[in-house]
Amino acid sequence: AARATVESTTDVDRSLTPSLAANGDGASFVSLQSYDYSGFADCWGPCGGRNNVDYPLLAFTKLDSGTPVVSSFVLEGQGYGGSVNLLVASGTRALVGTGWKGQLSILDAKNDAVEVVRSIDVVGSPYQAAQSGSTAVLSMSLDGAMTVDIAQ
């Protein structure tokens, strides 16, 4: 019987928990979520969550090389909610949805470092995604649906 092996590991701050993961052809992405509830003071009450917090992510590249590269990145706060609620990958890019009534961000990890290559203002809250190639079809909860080409 074949056995799974651990090829590499990476440490993360103990206050962070891996949340969502997405695989592209050239990179894999993992969102990290904080369970430190002290940040809720920024927006407690009507919005029920944190307001404009930062969102830490990890990108894994060169997975087939035998020496994977792990890059950490912090997406600056947008919207309400306090967590990444959508993560879809294609190639070396990831589409990241955060909070409620915030933005979608497209990240690129092609050069072993993560950068925001595009931001998209949204009316609603990204809820779920289906993917065909580099196109993501997003359910925007009560605000309809939209498509995003992650490659552009």
Q: What is the pLDDT of residue 34?
A: 73
Assess whether pLDDT exceeds 80 at residue 47.
no
Question: What are residue 12's phi and psi, to 5 degrees?
Answer: -130, 155
Q: What's the average model confidence in pLDDT over 115-128?
A: 86
- Both tokens of 69, joined, read 């590269």
Question: Which residues contact residue 141 at a Cβ distance below 8 angstroms, ignoring those fewer than 6 apart?
Answer: 124, 125, 126, 127
Quick one: which of 29, 32, 49 has its CA closest to 40?
49
Outline where DSSP puts E strands in 24-152: 27-34, 55-61, 69-75, 80-90, 93-100, 103-108, 115-121, 128-132, 135-139, 145-149
Summary mean pLDDT of the chain:
81
Could you tell me which residues come within 8 angstroms of residue 65 by beta carbon, excluding any fewer than 6 positions away? none
Flag the least confident range among 13-27, 74-88, 119-133.
Answer: 74-88
pTM of the model as a whole: 0.82
